Amino acid sequence: MHFIVVKYQAKPEVAETFVERNAEFTAATRAEPGNLWFEWSRSVEDPNEFVLVEAFADDDAAAAHVGSDHFARGIDTLRPLITKTPRIVSRKVEGSGWDEMGELQID
């Protein structure tokens, strides 16, 4: 699975509508056959920082995502909303989804 985390620094004037402005990109990506998840979060320390956690089933799914028309449109939508180049962690990892945390089990 391809596991990706991206941090975006939104312009303060768009922070309250940042996720909404990316709704089309989000919906299109979630509809991709190989998308496992595509989830936005907002930093509790910096209200202008947004974190995107996404995963794709395999190399083909990741390549299809980056090569899609909606990816290009998503990049075009994001560009005027952010103050700097996003920071990313992108890794191929074992597994196909979320596992339960072994150190903290709730019965």
Predicted confidence at residue 69, as pLDDT, reads 97
Under DSSP, the state recorded for 47 is T
Predicted confidence at residue 7, as pLDDT, reads 98
User: What does the pLDDT look like over 28-86, one tens digit per residue?
Assistant: 999 999 999 999 999 999 999 999 999 999 999 999 999 999 999 999 999 999 999 99
CB of 57 within 8 A of CB of 78?
Answer: no
Tell me which H or E stretch contains 60: helix 59-66
Concatenated DSSP letters of 9-27: EB-GGGGGGHHHHTHHHHH
Residues 6+ apart with CB under 8 A from 9: 46, 48, 49, 82, 83, 84, 86
Predicted confidence at residue 34, as pLDDT, reads 96
The two three-digit tokens of residue 93, written as one number? 């990892």
The fold of 2-92 is Alpha-Beta Plaits (3.30.70)
Mean pLDDT of 78-105: 96
Domains of the chain by residue range: 2-92
Predicted confidence at residue 103, as pLDDT, reads 97
Predicted confidence at residue 107, as pLDDT, reads 87
Backbone phi and psi for residue 56, each to the nearest 5 degrees, phi listed first: -130, 145
